[in-house]
Amino acid sequence: MRFIDEAVVTVKAGDGGNGIASFRREKYVPRGGPDGGDGGKGGDIYVIAEDNTNTLVDYRYTRRHDAMRAENGHSRNCSGKGSDDLFLPVPIGTTVVDTETDEVLGDLIELGQTLLVAKGGDGGLGNTHFKSSTNQAPRKSTSGFEGELKVLKFELKVVADVGLIGLPNAGKSTFIRQVSAARPKVADYPFTTLVPNLGVVDIGRHRSFVMADIPGLIEGASEGAGLGIRFLKHVARTRRLLHVVDVKPIDGSDPVANARVILNELERFSPELSNLPQILILNKIDQVPDEELDELCTHIVAELDWTGDVFRTSTLMGEGTDAVKYHLMNEIELERERELEDPIFAEAQRTRFERLEVEVRLNTEAQREAYRAARKAAREGVDLSDDDADFDDDDEDGVEVIYVP
C-alpha cells in the first residue's frame, strides 16, 4: 500500500444561508407583519482519527474539501436548514497545522478524537429581527456569513511506545517480527524497509505496547541523505529508542563507528530527540564465535561509553528478544503509573514531547527548504555537492514522496 505521511489540503466550511424579507399573508389577517426566517448555519469541518487507515494517501489526490452551504430562511418565521458537518478521517498520530500561521491546531492521538478545523458561517437574519414600533414593516434582511477557508497540513507520525533505530540491515525488521505479529519485508540488502512498520508486542493478559520499525538511517540522514528526514521524525512520539547494532557487519565495517553514526544523526537532527531513553541491542551474536563474543561486546560498550541498558540478541534465532520485550514492558508500565500518580512528572513529560514535536517540525521544514534552495541553484547552473543529490522529493507543495514497497 502506498505510504504518505504528509499532505496539504484546502478546506472550506459551509456558508450560512441568507435571511429573507417576507410578510405574513393570511385571509382575514390584514397587515400581518414581517415573518421572514433566518438562514441556516453552514457546516463545520472536523478532522477525526480513525484506525482503519494508516496513510494520508487519500489526501494526495483529493486536496480540496468543502462543506455544503446552508439553506436560506423561509416565510412564517421558519429558519433554513443547516448543512451537515464534514468529517475528514485521518490515521491516529496525525498533527494538523495551519499553513498560513504555522499554528498547530491539534494532535489526534486517540481513536475517535475530533478536531474542529474550519467553522461554518452563521445564517443571516430575516426581517422579523428588524421590526419595531417605528418600523412595523421592515424590508431589511442580512446575508449569511462565509465559512472559514484554510489551507492545512496533515503530518503523520506513528504512535508507538518504542522506536527501533539503526543502520540498514542491522536486524530491526527481524526483531519486530520476533516480538510481534508485524511482518515487514526482510532481505539481505540495505533499505529493505521503505516505510515505518508498527507491531503490537503482547506480553500477557492486558499487557502490551506498540513498537515501530523505522526505516534505516545512514550518515547524513539529518541533512536528507538516503531516506533522510523522511522518517526520522517518526521517532518523535516514542518513549524509548532501541538502538540495534550489528556486532559483525557483513561489509567488515566497525560496529562502534556504525553506532556513532546513528547517535550523531539523532543529535544533529534534534538534540531533544537524542535525549530520549535508549537501549543498546547488540544483535547478530550468532555470527560471532562464543570465545570472542564477550570481548567484542565489552569492547563496543566501552568504546561507546554506554551507561544505559545493554542486551545481546540474535533476532534470526530468537535469542535474547524475550528479555528485551519484558524489560521494555516493565519500564513503560512504571512510567505510565508515575504519570498517573505524579502530576508534576506528567506535566514534565507532556512539555518534553511538545518541545520535541516543535523541534522536529522546525528541523524538518528547515531541511526541506534547504533542499528546495539547492534544487533552485541547480536549475540556475550552480554546482551542488554530492550530498544534495541524496534528497528525494516529488512536490514543491509539501506533499511527501510516495514509497511503494
User: In whole angstroms, what is the distance from residue 132 CA to residue 123 CA?
Assistant: 21
Q: Which residue has the cell 421590526?
A: 131
Residue 247 CB burial class (10 angstroms; 0-12, 13-18, ≥19): buried
Q: How far is CA 218 from CA 45, 223, 260, in A?
A: 41, 10, 11
Q: Which residues contact 182 (CB under 8 A, 6 or more apart)?
A: 176, 197, 198, 199, 200, 211, 213
Give the per-residue pLDDT at 119.
95
User: In whole angstroms, what is the distance from residue 128 CA to residue 239 CA?
Assistant: 59
Is residue 218 within 8 Å of residue 229, measured between CB atoms? no
Q: How far is CA 279 from CA 233, 240, 350, 402, in A?
A: 19, 8, 22, 31
User: In whole angstroms, what is the distance from residue 56 CA to residue 59 CA?
Assistant: 6
Q: How far is CA 138 from CA 23, 128, 131, 132, in A?
A: 9, 8, 6, 8
pLDDT tens, 57-91? 788 788 999 999 999 999 888 999 999 999 999 98
Rg of the Cα trace of the chain?
Answer: 28
Give the per-residue pLDDT at 74.
92
Q: Which residues contact 53 (CB under 8 A, 6 or more apart)?
A: 89, 90, 91
Which of 185-193's residues contact partners 24+ apart within 8 Å by CB, and which partners? 185/405, 188/250, 190/216, 191/215, 191/216, 191/226, 191/227, 192/168
DSSP letter for 217, please.
P
- What residues form DSSP beta bridges with 340? none
User: In whole angstroms, what is the distance from residue 298 CA to residue 334 CA?
Assistant: 29
The predicted model scores a pTM of 0.62
Record the cell numbers describing residue 232, joined without a space: 526520522
pLDDT along the chain (405 residues), means of 10: 72 94 82 88 94 79 92 91 93 87 86 93 92 88 93 82 83 82 54 62 80 65 48 71 88 87 81 83 89 90 90 87 90 88 87 77 71 75 52 40 36
- Give CA angle at 56 (160, 177), nearest 5°: 40
Is residue 49 within 8 Å of residue 111, measured between CB atoms? yes
Mean pLDDT of the chain: 80
End-to-end CA distance of the chain: 7
DSSP string, 196-208: -EEEEEEEETTEE
Strands 240-246 and 162-165: parallel
Q: What are the backbone dihedrals phi and psi of residue 244, each rounded to the nearest 5 degrees, phi first?
A: -90, 125
Q: If phi over 0 gives left and psi between -120 and 50 gives alpha, with beta otherwise, what is residue 26?
A: beta
Q: How many whole angstroms from its chain centre is CA 376?
A: 28
Which of 294, 279, 274 has its CA nearest to residue 325? 279
